[in-house]
Amino acid sequence: MTAPTGGPVIVGADSSAASADALALGRWAAQTLDLPLIVAVVRPAPSAIGSGRVDAEWTADRHRAAEAVLATARDTLGDPPGVEYRVVASTSAAHGLHDLAEHENAALLVVGSRSTGPAARLFAGSTAERLLSGSVCPVAVAPAGLPQPPGALGRIGVAYVDTPDGRAALTEAARLARRTGSPLLLVTVVARGDAAVPFLLGDDAERAFLDTARETYEDALRKAAESVPGVTVNWELRSGDVVETLADLAEVDVLFCGSRGYGPARRVLLGGVSARLLRRACRPLVVVPRAP
């Protein structure tokens, strides 16, 4: 969640109620990591085709609307010193935030969830989902109506799987944990026996497979915990649906995960988990870019 160059935390704001949650999460991240905070609103860029006068009037109207969003953001934050407010012109919100993050060498991009989702649940719109495609830095999504302010629970979660992406998520989570003094909770989820495929393997073979898999996962969790110096690390192996189990992880301030994950036998964080978590997680989710 930190960048070695100390780049800023960037919050993408808009006119929805979800912006308040994104601003709260972004301010906490910037203060915790001792990084600059930039609040950005992306407005449509002028069209390359069309009436010059009409296009200019429409562009000016969109700029005024963006400035109004920034004014609301100032009021929401209490206009603290040192915060930058910017209007960015682009073809889409995701594209504009991508470009700004790359230009500023951002440490973190923060956006809110769509307000149409259930209370205290993420229901990420296209902006958050598109940000995950080729993002130059971790992307954090705040659930609608945060039940607790960021940092109140004092624990950092990691959806861990022993892959390059899982280890990248652990590294970023550990950096935040060192700044906050919070312990880490590493969670690996495996399918319950009744959720597996005994009709292919047979009941006995399936149980033997799950027992072996559990030993593999526990060993990976143990080694991962031992690999993080200077941080208290707890780990748990849980059974159930991967997305539902991780989405209900309410005892952490923030949950880190990789942008993709294929565990042993493709049982853990089986593809698309990060995207599905965006729509369901009850706590802020930080998706770490794919490891090179």
State residue 196's pLDDT score.
47
Better-predicted residue by pLDDT, 269 or 82: 82
Report how far residue 44's alpha carbon sits from residue 62's, in angstroms, rounded to the nearest whole number: 7
How does the average pLDDT of the chain come out, rounded?
Answer: 81
Q: Report pTM.
A: 0.83
CA-nearest of 127, 129, 133 to 92 is 127
**Torsion angle in degrees (nearest 10) through CA of 255, 256, 262, 263:** -70
Q: How far is CA 122 from CA 31, 144, 214, in A?
A: 23, 6, 30
pLDDT digits (tens, 9 = 90+) for 184-214: 999 999 876 544 444 455 566 656 666 777 8
- Answer yes or no: is pLDDT of 160 > 70: yes
Burial state string for 149-166 with b = 16 or more CB within 10 A and e = fewer than 16: ebbebebbbbbbbbbebb
State residue 123's pLDDT score.
38
Q: How far is CA 196 from CA 190, 191, 199, 261, in A?
A: 10, 7, 9, 19
CA-nearest of 284, 285, 182 to 228 is 182
- Answer yes or no: is pLDDT of 106 > 90: yes
CA-nearest of 174, 223, 201, 183 to 267 is 201
The answer as to CATH 3.40.50.620 being correct for domain 156-288 is yes
Please state the rounded mean pLDDT for residues 4-31: 89
State residue 272's pLDDT score.
67
- Answer yes or no: is pLDDT of 96 > 70: yes
Report how far residue 87's alpha carbon sits from residue 102's, in angstroms, rounded to the nearest whole number: 16
> Which residue spans of the chain are classified as CATH 3.40.50.620?
9-142, 156-288
CATH of domain 9-142: 3.40.50.620
Question: What are the tokens at 266?
Answer: 């493709």
pLDDT digits (tens, 9 = 90+) for 210-237: 677 788 999 999 999 999 999 999 999 9
Beta pairing, strands 233-239 & 84-90: unpaired
Please state the rounded mean pLDDT for residues 90-97: 88
Report how far residue 107's alpha carbon sits from residue 134's, in angstroms, rounded to the nearest whole number: 15
State residue 172's pLDDT score.
93
pLDDT digits (tens, 9 = 90+) for 113-125: 865 444 444 434 5
**Segments of 51-120 assigned E as strands:** 84-90, 108-112
